[in-house]
């Protein structure tokens, strides 16, 4: 009589391990990018409150000059922090979020996201620039 095989052979197990290794090597970089983008979104969220205040002050005064953390009820740079953001500063209406040097994705460490307002026929629009890797920041900052 023939003996039935039970379990997996060594080759079959090695193939499974190789497949899992290949899938992991593809998934890890994508996951790291996802983590970095979520950390960058914290900076943009913290900047939003300052954008609203600047827009209100601009509507009252008609000028972006002089709107900073010391005037018009805008919080000081060091009072706006997050888990990944060390500060959000405002100088002449330009809002700058600076990321921490440690505890954040390598592509964001010490980098900044800067929002600069402009007036387009009475509508305030915001231009975004960054020193961080383009793949880490929101789509509006990649341009």
How does pLDDT run across 56-91, given as a tens digit for each residue? 989 888 888 888 877 777 888 888 899 999 999 999
pLDDT digits (tens, 9 = 90+) for 8-39: 888 999 999 999 999 999 988 888 888 999 99
Across 26-54, b (16+ Cβ under 10 Å) vs e yields eeeeeeeeeebbebbebbbebbeebbebb
Cβ of 116: how many Cβ atoms within 10 Å? 15
Write out the E strands in the chain: 85-91, 94-99, 112-120, 123-130
Residues 115, 94: contact at Cβ < 8 Å? yes
Per-residue pLDDT, 65 = 87
Is residue 4 situated within a structural domain? no
Is the confidence at residue 112, as pLDDT, over 90?
Answer: yes
What is the spatial distance between Cα 92 and Cα 52, in angstroms, rounded to a whole number? 14
pTM score: 0.80
Number of domains in the chain: 1
The CATH number covering residue 20 comes to 3.30.700.10
Per-residue pLDDT, 5 = 66
Is residue 45 situated within a structural domain? yes
Per-residue pLDDT, 137 = 87
Signed CA dihedral, 72, 76, 77, 82: sign only: negative
Is residue 5 situated within a structural domain? no
Task: Indicate the pLDDT class of residue 1, thresholds 50, 70 and 90.
Answer: low
Is residue 41 situated within a structural domain? yes
What is the spatial distance between Cα 117 and Cα 123, in angstroms, rounded to a whole number? 10
Is residue 3 situated within a structural domain? no
Give the residue numbers spanning the domain of 115.
10-141
Residues 126, 94: contact at Cβ < 8 Å? no
DSSP 26-51: HHHHHHHHHHHHHHHHHHHHHHHHHH
Is residue 1 situated within a structural domain? no
What is the spatial distance between Cα 63 and Cα 32, in angstroms, rounded to a whole number? 41
């Amino acid at each position: 009589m023939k003996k039935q095989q039970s379990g997996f052979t060594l080759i079959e197990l090695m193939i499974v391990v190789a497949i899992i290794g290949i899938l992991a090597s593809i998934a890890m970089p994508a996951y790291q990018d996802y983590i970095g983008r979520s950390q960058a979104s914290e900076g943009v969220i913290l900047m939003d409150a300052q954008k609203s205040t600047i827009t209100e002050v601009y509507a009252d005064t008609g000028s972006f000059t002089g709107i900073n953390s010391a005037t018009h009820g805008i919080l000081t740079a060091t009072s706006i922090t997050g888990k990944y953001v060390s500060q959000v500063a405002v100088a002449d209406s330009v809002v700058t979020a600076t990321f921490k040097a440690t505890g954040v994705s390598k592509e964001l460490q010490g980098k900044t996201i800067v929002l600069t307002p402009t007036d387009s026929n009475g509508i305030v629009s915001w231009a975004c620039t960054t020193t961080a890797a383009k793949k880490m920041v929101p789509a509006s900052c990649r341009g």
